[in-house]
């Protein structure tokens, strides 16, 4: 943690706003276990604290490596930020963070987090559909966290054009996403019943392959699934090749598939079961 941020956070932990602390307890936290004092967190002992989460550690370590430890003052956007946990952790590194969340129910938790950590002036949230982001309105970012979001969009190719718009030549894009399993891998994928057959979509006259994913098939009403898409009932999961192609044509020409976050045999299994991909991409060859 950045030293200045550490002083602020420890100050809040040791002298918490009890009224706001009570508000945290009233909310249903579904994923991000965010520390609130030295002993209290949003989800208690149920899951690791967000700072100890494997994915969070991989992102932080990779960033420190790529930016040679100089994270303070960078601008980061956290897309589909849910409960704000990744944004909070990044702000603790001294990074200027904007978390973007399109679902009001989740955004309200982010606002509570912001109010609780109000002295972290570098932690901010907006409530918006990510499809509406633009350089003109939101500026450009050094780092983009696109975690658990791309596979909730109906046109991921056009969204990658938006990512191109809000980044510069040295920006780093982290992508943590599902990809469409091949026919051979479909059976091992736990989402197989919600995925269509393989098909082709055209975008800017280029063909992309993937499968439609039914966002709300398991719910009576999609609005009560806090992790789902906010503005489309179906999402398009790109195949691995098509995802790489869309990043490439979207301006992110260096694409690094990240292995080694877990025990490698376990990682192969997890990737098959969840059809998940972790990568980062840049426009320039930064390594």
Which residues sit at the interface with ligand SAM, rule CB under 6 A?
A: 31, 80-82, 86, 100-103, 106, 129-131, 147-149, 152, 227, 229-231
Rounded to the nearest whole angstrom, what is the least distance from the CB of residue 27 to ligand SAM in the complex?
14
- CA distances, 195 to each of 91, 145, 229, 269, 280 (Å): 36, 25, 15, 19, 25
57 CB contacts (<8 Å, ≥6 apart)?
Answer: 51
Rounded to the nearest whole angstrom, what is the least distance from the CB of residue 152 to ligand SAM in the complex?
4
Cα(215)–Cα(244) distance, rounded to whole angstroms?
Answer: 23
Rounded to the nearest whole angstrom, what is the least distance from the CB of residue 154 to ligand SAM in the complex?
9
State the first-to-last Cα distance of the chain, in angstroms, to the nearest integer.
Answer: 25
Residue 238 has which token pair?
Answer: 């790109």
Please, which residues bridge with residue 84 across strands? none
Rounded to the nearest whole angstrom, what is the least distance from the CB of residue 77 to ligand SAM in the complex?
11
Q: Is the dihedral of CA 122, 126, 130, 135 positive or negative?
A: negative
Q: Which is nearer to ligand SAM, 8 or 171 (CB)?
A: 171
Q: Do the Cβ atoms of 199 and 209 come closer than 8 Å?
A: yes
Q: Which is nearer to ligand SAM, 198 or 216 (CB)?
A: 216
Give kind and range of the element (H or E) at residue 41: none
Q: Which is nearer to ligand SAM, 128 or 182 (CB)?
A: 128
Please, which residues bridge with residue 147 across strands? 176
Q: Which is nearer to ligand SAM, 129 or 164 (CB)?
A: 129
Q: Which is nearer to ligand SAM, 115 or 231 (CB)?
A: 231
Rounded to the nearest whole angstrom, what is the least distance from the CB of residue 235 to ligand SAM in the complex?
8
């Amino acid at each position: 943690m950045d030293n200045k941020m550490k002083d602020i956070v420890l100050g809040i932990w040791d002298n918490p706003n009890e009224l706001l602390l009570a508000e945290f307890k009233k909310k249903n936290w579904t994923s991000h276990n965010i520390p609130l004092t030295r002993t209290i967190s949003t989800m208690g002992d149920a899951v690791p604290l967000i700072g100890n989460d494997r994915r969070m550690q991989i992102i932080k370590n990779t960033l420190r490596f790529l930016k040679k430890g100089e994270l303070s003052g960078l601008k980061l956007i956290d897309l589909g930020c849910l409960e704000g946990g990744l944004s909070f952790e990044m702000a603790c590194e001294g990074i200027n963070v904007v978390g973007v969340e399109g679902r009001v129910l989740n955004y309200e938790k982010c606002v509570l987090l912001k109010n609780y950590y109000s002295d972290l002036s570098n932690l901010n949230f907006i409530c918006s559909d990510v499809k509406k982001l633009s350089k003109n309105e939101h500026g450009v970012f050094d780092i983009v966290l696109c975690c658990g979001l791309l596979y909730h969009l109906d046109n991921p190719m056009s969204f990658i054009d938006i990512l191109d718009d809000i980044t510069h030549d040295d920006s780093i894009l982290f992508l943590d996403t599902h990809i469409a399993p091949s026919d051979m891998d479909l059976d091992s994928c736990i989402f197989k019943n919600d995925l269509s057959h393989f098909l082709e979509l055209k975008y800017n006259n280029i063909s992309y392959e993937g499968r439609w994913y039914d966002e709300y098939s398991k719910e009576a009403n999609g609005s009560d699934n806090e992790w789902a898409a906010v503005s489309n009932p179906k999402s398009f999961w790109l195949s691995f090749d098509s995802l790489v192609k869309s990043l490439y044509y979207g301006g992110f020409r260096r694409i690094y598939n990240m292995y080694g976050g877990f025990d490698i045999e376990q990682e192969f299994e997890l990737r098959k079961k969840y059809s998940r991909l972790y990568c980062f991409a840049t426009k320039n060859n930064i390594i």
